[in-house]
Amino acid sequence: MLSRKVTNFIRFILDELLPPALRDNYYFMYPLFWIWFKGKNVKRFMEFKSVFHKLSEEEFASYYQDYDYIANRDTDLSKKSIQYIIEQLGEDKNISIVDVGSGTGYVVKQMQDKGYSNVCGVDLVPHSKFDSVEIKVGNIENLPFADKAFDVVICSHTLEHVLDLPKAISELKRITKTKLIITVPKQRYYKYTFDLHIHFFPQISYLLNSINIDENNVQYKSINGDWTVVCNM
């Protein structure tokens, strides 16, 4: 398993130091994809960005079901990013919190360990690795919650994957009562990337423009290759 620190270093070498013509060359990237995906579905994942727009929901979801790679881990967030997110929650340990796109429930567990008791996750395919973590079924583009259902809404390393970005952000804002915390990778667009990202946020303005909240109510920070934005609603 590769840590976030290691994969960030690999991404820096590929995205920042290589000439774009080489970085987006199919034949140069193919052996790297072969290693990353352990020799399975290599061509399919390399072609993802060229075909995702015409995939059905079932076909789109199948890419994630088949996504097996050498850096498989509990979370894409660094320890510093998780620490920063928890610092934004405040002193009241009884506030209601939801982690949208919670994956294995790792971040929910970190919040529980800090004493926050009213916290859950939501994901398309719930697969909690922790007995104490509840993960509900839900699509970020149509969340199964009432307006302002949670004091704090967290969404980390999810928006870069969604098909309808404006709809997803609208849903996050709809269910937030007090504070919305969003984290995305600070990543340039390239045709061949090892992830299934379809939205890219190399500059903070890309994300702020999508969120569309008065700048006086927003703070942001760059942490270990991520942008984290805290929106006071």
Judge contact between 108 and 96, C-beta under 8 A: no
Tokens coding 155 = 């969404």
Q: Looking at per-residue confidence, does 8 or 114 come out higher? A: 114
Return the closest-CA partner of residue 60 out of 167, 176, 183, 196. Answer: 196
Instruction: Evaluate if residue 54 carries a pLDDT over 70.
Output: yes
Q: What are phi and psi of 40, to 5 degrees?
A: -115, 135
Least confident among 62-71, 159-168, 182-191, 208-217: 62-71
Question: What is the model's pLDDT at position 1?
Answer: 59
Instruction: Evaluate if residue 197 carries a pLDDT over 70.
Output: yes
**Residues facing 99 on adjacent strands:** 121, 154
Return the closest-CA partner of residue 217 out of 190, 178, 189. Answer: 178
Half-sphere exposure of 232 (CA within 13 A, CB side): 7
Instruction: Evaluate if residue 5 carries a pLDDT over 70.
Output: yes
Mean pLDDT score, 20-47: 96
Helix (H) or strand (E) holding 129: none
Q: If DSSP codes are grouped into helix, strand and coil, which group holds residue 96?
A: coil
Instruction: Evaluate if residue 72 carries a pLDDT over 90.
Output: no
Instruction: Evaluate if residue 57 carries a pLDDT over 90.
Output: no
Domains delineated in the chain: 4-65 (no CATH), 79-232 (3.40.50.150)
Question: What is the model's pLDDT at position 216?
Answer: 93
| pLDDT confidence bin for 112, thresholds 50/70/90 | very high
Mean pLDDT score, 3-15: 84
| pLDDT confidence bin for 126, thresholds 50/70/90 | confident
Return the closest-CA partner of residue 89 out of 59, 71, 116. Answer: 116
Tokens 């996504």, residue?
67
Question: What is the model's pLDDT at position 9?
Answer: 87
In whole numbers, what is the pLDDT of the chain averaged over residues?
A: 93
Instruction: Evaluate if residue 114 carries a pLDDT over 80.
Output: yes
Q: What angle, rounded to 10 degrees, do the helices at 79-87 and 106-113 form?
A: 50
Question: What is the model's pLDDT at position 102?
Answer: 93
Distance set, CA 152 to CA 85, 167, 180 (Å) = 11, 19, 6
Instruction: Evaluate if residue 85 carries a pLDDT over 90.
Output: yes
In the chain, the N- to C-terminal Cα span, in Å, equals 38
Q: What are phi and psi of 129, to 5 degrees?
A: -100, 5
Q: Give the rounded percent of residues in the chain with a pLDDT score beyond 90.
A: 79
